[in-house]
Structure 1
Amino acid sequence: MSNTLLLISSGSTFMVDALTKSLKDVGIEVLRAAPQINELEKFKDDPPVFLFYLGNYLEDIKDVLNYIKDMCIEKNKTLYTIGDMSEYSILTSIIPEYVILGHHERPINTKEVASKMLEILSVNESLSKRKTILLVDDDPTFLTLAKTWLETEYNVIIVGSGVQAITYLASKRPDLILLDYEMPITDGPTVLEMIKSEETTEDIPVIFLTGKGDKESVMKVVSLKPNGYLLKTLNQYELLKAIREFFESID
Structure 2
Amino acid sequence: MDKRVLLVGGGKSFMVTSIAKELKEEGFEVIQANPNVTEVERIENKPTVYLVYIDDLDEMMEFFVYLRDREVEDDLSISIIGSPDEVAKITSRVSSDRIAAVFERPVNVKELGRKMIDVVEKEGIRLQKKRILVVDDDGTMLRTIKSWLSDKYQVFMVNSGMAAITFLAKNEVDLILLDYEMPVTTGPKVLEMLRSESSTSDIPVMFLTNKGDKESVLNVVALKPEKYLLKTMPPAELIANIDEFFEKQKGKKLMR
TM-score between both structures, scaled by the size of structure 1: 0.82
Q: Would you say how many aligned residue pairs link Structure 1 and Structure 2?
A: 249
Aligned partner of 2:98: which letter?
I
Partner deviation per Cα, 1:42-78 (whole Å, 9 max, x = no partner):
435331211122232545762x445444443333332
**Do 2:68 and 2:95's aligned partners in 1 also have CA atoms closer than 8 Å?**
no
Query: Per the alignment, in what secondary structure is the counterpart of residue 43 of structure 1?
Result: coil
**Do 1:2 and 1:121's aligned partners in 2 also have CA atoms closer than 8 Å?**
yes
**Do 1:162 and 1:187's aligned partners in 2 also have CA atoms closer than 8 Å?**
yes
TM-fit CA distance, 1:103: 5.4
**How many Å separate the matches in 2 of 1:90 and 1:202?**
43
Whether 2:99 is the aligned partner of 1:101: answer yes
Q: CA, structure 1 residues 164+120, in 2 after alignment: closer, same or farther (shift >3 Å)? A: farther
**Do 1:44 and 1:75's aligned partners in 2 also have CA atoms closer than 8 Å?**
no
Aligned partner of 1:106: which letter?
E
Aligned partner of 2:146: which letter?
K
Partner deviation per Cα, 1:163-214 (whole Å, 9 max, x = no partner):
3211110111211111112233333223222212211111111111113445
Query: Per the alignment, in what secondary structure is the counterpart of residue 170 of structure 2?
Result: coil
Structure of higher CA gyration radius = 2
Report what 1:122 is aligned to. Answer: 121
Report what 2:24 is aligned to. Answer: 24
5 Å-filtered alignment, 1:166-205, equals 166-205=165-204
**How many Å separate the matches in 1 of 2:74 and 2:103?**
26
TM-score between both structures, scaled by the size of structure 2: 0.81
Report what 1:134 is aligned to. Answer: 133
**Do 1:179 and 1:188's aligned partners in 2 also have CA atoms closer than 8 Å?**
yes
Query: Per the alignment, in what secondary structure is the counterpart of residue 23 of structure 2?
Result: helix
**How many Å separate the matches in 1 of 2:15 and 2:173?**
39
**Do 1:58 and 1:87's aligned partners in 2 also have CA atoms closer than 8 Å?**
no
Partner deviation per Cα, 1:92-126 (whole Å, 9 max, x = no partner):
67x54257324526323434433332122112222
**Do 1:182 and 1:210's aligned partners in 2 also have CA atoms closer than 8 Å?**
yes
Q: CA, structure 1 residues 54+183, in 2 after alignment: closer, same or farther (shift >3 Å)? A: farther
Aligned partner of 1:211: which letter?
N
Give the root-mean-square deviation of aligned CA atoms.
Answer: 2.9
Partner deviation per Cα, 1:10-34 (whole Å, 9 max, x = no partner):
2332332333233334332221001
**Do 1:45 and 1:75's aligned partners in 2 also have CA atoms closer than 8 Å?**
no
Q: CA, structure 1 residues 65+161, in 2 after alignment: closer, same or farther (shift >3 Å)? A: farther
Q: CA, structure 1 residues 113+219, in 2 after alignment: closer, same or farther (shift >3 Å)? A: farther
Report what 2:39 is aligned to. Answer: 39
Query: Per the alignment, in what secondary structure is the counterpart of residue 170 of structure 1?
Result: helix
Gaps spanning 5+ residues in structure 1: where? none
Query: Per the alignment, in what secondary structure is the counterpart of residue 80 of structure 1?
Result: strand
Q: CA, structure 1 residues 245+115, in 2 after alignment: closer, same or farther (shift >3 Å)? A: same
**How many Å separate the matches in 1 of 2:171 and 2:50?**
19
**How many Å separate the matches in 2 of 1:99 and 1:12?**
31
**How many Å separate the matches in 1 of 2:218 and 2:96?**
33
**How many Å separate the matches in 2 of 1:190 and 1:22?**
51
Query: Per the alignment, in what secondary structure is the counterpart of residue 117 of structure 1?
Result: helix
**How many Å separate the matches in 2 of 1:99 and 1:169?**
23
Could you list the runs of 4 or more consecutive aligned residues of structure 1 that deviate by over 6 angstroms after TM superposition? none
5 Å-filtered alignment, 1:74-113, equals 74-84=73-83, 87-88=86-87, 91=90, 96-97=94-95, 100-102=98-100, 104=102, 106-107=104-105, 108-113=107-112
Q: CA, structure 1 residues 201+47, in 2 after alignment: closer, same or farther (shift >3 Å)? A: same
